[in-house]
Amino acid sequence: MAEGLKIEIVSPERLVLSEVVTSVTVPGSEGYFTVMADHAPFMTTLRLGFITVTGLDGKAHVYFVRGGFADVSTEGLTILAEEASPFHEFDTGDLQAEIKAAEEELARAQTPDDKSYAQVLVSGLLNLAIEAGQINGTHIH
Amino acid sequence: MPSLKDLKNRIDSVKSTQKITKAMQMVAAAKLRRAQDAAVAARPYAERMGKVLASLASVYEGQSGAPVLLAGTGKDQVHLLIVATGERGLAGGFNSSIARLARDHAAKLLSQGKTVKILTVGRKGNDILKRQYPNLIIDTISFREIKTIGFAQAALISEKVQALFAAGEFDVATLFFAKFNSVVSQVPTALQIIPARIEKIEGEGAAATSTVPYEYEPSEEAIVEDLLPRNISVQIFRALLENGASFYGAQMSAMDNATRNAGEMIGKLQLSYNRQRQAQITKELIEIISGAEAL
């Protein structure tokens, strides 16, 4: 495909990215998936994670997203995220604090529902920390 | 007739008032820019959300089993009015016009025998509505300490509203805010958020989207259920931003008026001050001349 894929990453506060790119890897709620041009229409919710956008020049850029969904239509890929920011704005210190808060919540949780919710949160955040570390290791921004 | 000194004092006091209103106008203008930018930046999200929701909601058309946030509880007995106003006054008719719209709406519902509950966002609206409907206000949220409204605040209100809805506290929720048209025009607006009002996609786009089979992950229902609460947050967020821009717009034009009025007043006072000064000089001259003639 010559013309590439149109991608838009939108957060409530602003339009984070609007570009034509080669491919995008998105953290869907049921696993990572990669979208390229002319993908079949598809919609999914997102989980906490990083979007990797490979531009037409072959360079990869990473964006952090939290909560929201991705909509692949004939026009392109639209990502509506409650929180979205370029990776360099992503603060690992904040993440550590959040992990700590989540772990405390897990320790406090009484009902099984609360417990499983907190557990999911903690593991999601820990996962994120690992992924962030990997990206830091392999990418130079 | 006030003395020269009195007039001088009054001129000075009006001048310092003018300085204050002038400064407030300039501050409002600077903040308006920021608020306007924020409102514009939030627009794409709300628009895309509306589009996606519209295409999803069309699935439920004419079918039962739609989520309650979309279809409603089937009753419209208890109404929740969410009234978003500013935290401060000195903004012309901004706060009172929103409150008036909400009050009229409440009065209409009450006369139809419906139950009305009011949730106020912002201190000013609470102050105004408290006078007339002290018993209807169930809660009030204030953002006094927060400088710039973010999505987190909207999510907070949204959670509160949804918790009330889940507890069966109301059937219909309407949001009141001032829509920002321009610096001189802010329109108080009522927007129904529960059950969700979905705008229909019309024209060619509608045909194109409905013919392409979509794949959903996890399932269509799960996505709709995930989306509807988000949509409420987005609508509230948008209303808050519009409100922010409207507030500064109203404040700016109110302060502009005040500055101009103060200017006029200073002009008038200065005129009568000069006249009186002249009269006094003339009087003194006459006294000196007639004294000299008498010699």
Domain boundaries, chain A: 5-88, 91-138
CB A66, CB A81: distance < 8 Å = yes
Sign of the CA dihedral running B157, B162, B167, B173: positive
Which chain B residue has the Cα nearest residue A43? Answer: B216
List, in order, residues 6 or more apart from A3 with CB less than 8 Å away.
A20, A37
B223 lies within 8 A of chain A by CB: yes
More confident residue, A79 or A137: A79
Instruction: Give the pLDDT of residue B24.
Output: 93
- The arrangement of secondary structure in B45-254, i.e. its CATH architecture, is 3-Layer(aba) Sandwich (3.40)
Q: If we measure between CA atoms, which residue out of A8, A31, A40 comes closest to residue B214? A: A40
* Amino acid present at B190: A
| Tokens at B170, concatenated | 């109301």
Which chain A residue has the Cα nearest residue B149? Answer: A13
A94 lies within 8 A of chain B by CB: no
| Confidence grade of residue B293 (pLDDT, cut at 50, 70, 90) | very high
Beta strands of B107-238 (E only): which ranges? 115-121, 137-141, 172-182, 185-194, 215-217
Mean pLDDT of chain A: 82
Q: If we measure between CA atoms, which residue out of B117, B114, B137, B115 comes closest to residue B126? A: B137
> What is the rounded distance in angstroms from the CA atom of residue B162 to the CA atom of residue B115?
18
Q: What is the pLDDT of residues B71-128, one digit of tens each?
A: 777 778 888 999 998 888 888 889 999 999 999 999 999 999 888 999 998 888 888 8
Mean pLDDT of chain B: 85
> What is the rounded distance in angstroms from the CA atom of residue B178 to the CA atom of residue B86?
10
* Structure ipTM: 0.71
> What is the rounded distance in angstroms from the CA atom of residue A141 to the CA atom of residue A60?
9
Output the CA angle A129-A130-A134, nearest 5 degrees.
115
| Confidence grade of residue B216 (pLDDT, cut at 50, 70, 90) | confident
**CATH top-level class of A5-88:** mainly beta
CA atoms within 13 Å, Cβ hemisphere of B24: 24
Which chain A residue has the Cα nearest residue B151? Answer: A12
CB B131, CB B160: distance < 8 Å = no
Tell me the shortest Cα–Cα distance from A137 to chain B, in angstroms. Answer: 31
